[in-house]
Structure 1
Amino acid sequence: MAAAMSPFLDALLQISRGLSAEDLDALRFLAGVKKKKLEQLRSGTDLFRHLMEQNQISEDDTTLLRGLLQQIHRQDLVFILDRVERNGPGPDAELPDAEEREKLDITFRVLHEKLGKDWKMFARRIGLTEPKLDHIREKHPYNLEEQVMEALKEWRKIHKKDANVSDLIKALRDCRLNHTADLVEKELKTNEN
């Protein structure tokens, strides 16, 4: 019996399948692939394998891949990466139930787009430490949206199956980010229907 593919490798496969030929050409160029290596990298999977061999991407560091996908304006593919990073590599027993995971996905998407410069106050409220915040700022120094997403992923890793949307909404309200909390609740309601 074959071993199950890791969630990270599965995400890379999904991303590869979502790439057009033009996307792949742009990614190879942006990744700085040497001319003689270009012919060998005929698919997204080949490119990702190459980047992993060069230690440029890994399950623990998707910064380069995320940046490349954003540069070619493929946020839909970035969300695949986000989903696997939020849920982590652990077994399903460590995850919230499917309904709560869907709500978390929606909440993360709204916060990713709307939280902005208040992300540090919010991150402290949800329990992230100053060293963790410093690490997030260093990892994504000029990208507020990525800092927000990284903070949310860290929170998700800490809380595992106990992660829930109501805690995030309460933290938003505690930080007086009521408009953002309202947007989350509105989006959740819209997706219930």
Structure 2
Amino acid sequence: LDPSFNAFLLKISNQLSEEQLNNMKFLCRDTIGKRDMEQIKTGIGLFQILTERRKLGTDDMGLLRELLTQIQRYDLVDKVKYFETFQMSTVNQPDTKENAKLDIATDVIADNLGRNWRKLGRKLGLTDVKLESISKRHPTELDRTVIELLREWRKNRGAEARIEDLIKALRDCEFNLTADKSYFRPQSHGDLGKRCLATSKTPWRSMSGRTV
């Protein structure tokens, strides 16, 4: 793991009281199991197990934020959010407008893709090893799995990540309905809707059912 991430977790651990740690352990009991729960004496011990079980990582701090929120340590929640923002700012990214389009498409795809996420992942160029790693992070939460998938793709592509490439991959997988939803929802961002309409492989139907 990134040494800065480990140092950050250590700082969070040092600011937890014994009662707060016990409450966090209780909230994670189904994930860590009774035996391991009894052996955890520090926050860093809890974080280590969550990391080993792929519930916590530099690109997946949602569970940590949720736990800290549940024990009402909102000051630490803010620190986690700041760390996440800092991590993202160090990654080469597309411009703000393109990022906004990709953010919207990510939400749409997460809501619609379901169990077909591996097929899309392979089309986007992710390895089977990476896909297996993603699947273990959220084995029962498909929407979060899809978000992780698209986050990995965007990280790999960096500044070259484009909404058009994402839509093309969806169409190549024959996920045309999801592609249509992802394409047409971001019309508020400039002329994206017009460009998408011009390049779409399938006709778009108006509310009346007429092909346009």
TM tier relative to shorter chain: 0.5 to 0.7
Give the aligned partner of residue 88 of structure 1.
88
For residues 62 and 125 of structure 1, the distance between their equivalents in structure 2, rounded to whole angstroms, comes to 26
Percent identical pairs in the alignment equals 35
TM-fit CA distance, 1:64: 2.1
Pick aligned residue for 2:150 from 149, 152, 155: 152
Task: Look up the equivalent residue of 1:123 and give its one-letter code.
Answer: G
TM-score with structure 1 length normalisation? 0.60
Please name the residue that 1:31 is paired with. 24
The 3 A distance-change label for structure 1 pair 135 and 67 is farther
Which deviations, in whole Å up to 9, do the C-alpha atoms of 1:147-187 show, x marking residues without a partner? 10111111011000000100000000000000000001121
TM-score normalised over the length of structure 2:
0.55
Is the contact made by 2:171 and 2:179 (CA closer than 8 Å) also made in structure 1? yes
Instruction: Supply the distance in 2 between the matched residues of 1:31 and 1:140 (Cα, whole angstroms).
Output: 19
Tell me the equivalent position of 2:104. 106
- Structure 2 match to 1:119: 117
User: Deviation digits for residues 75-114 of structure 1, max 9, x if unmatched?
Assistant: xx9xx97xx58x83415xx210111011111111111111
Structure 2: gaps (5+ residues): 9-19, 28-41, 51-55, 71-76, 192-212
More relative contact order in 1 or in 2 (CA 8 Å, sep 6+)? 1
Distance 1:141 1:190, change over 3 A: same
Distance 1:53 1:88, change over 3 A: farther
Give, in angstroms, the shift of residue 70 of structure 1: 11
Q: Residue 37 of structure 2 corresponds to which residue in structure 1?
A: none
Q: Tell me, what secondary structure is at the counterpart of 1:31?
A: helix
Deviation at residue 135 of structure 1 after TM alignment: 0.5
Q: What stretches of structure 1 of length at least 5 have no aligned partner?
A: 1-5, 10-26, 35-49, 72-76
Q: 1:96 to 1:116 in 2, by over 3 A?
A: same
Q: Which position in structure 1 is the counterpart of 2:34?
A: none
Query: How far apart are 1:59 and its partner, in Å?
Result: 2.9
Alignment of 1:1-193 (within 5 A): 31-32=24-25, 55=47, 59-65=58-64, 68=67, 88-90=88-90, 94-192=92-190
Provide Cα deviations, 1:128-156, integer angstroms capped at 9, x if missing partner: 10000111111111111111011111101
Structure 1 vs Structure 2 CA RMSD = 3.6
Q: Is the partner of 1:141 in helix, strand or coil?
A: coil
Cα distance in 1 between the residues matched to 2:116 and 2:100:
24
Whether the 8 Å contact between 2:97 and 2:189 is mirrored in structure 1 is no
Instruction: Please say if residues 94 and 160 of structure 2, whose CA atoms lie closer than 8 Å, have aligned partners that are also in contact.
Output: yes
Equivalent pair of 1:88/1:157 in contact (CA under 8 Å): no
Which secondary structure state, in structure 1, belongs to the residue aligned with residue 94 of structure 2? Answer: coil
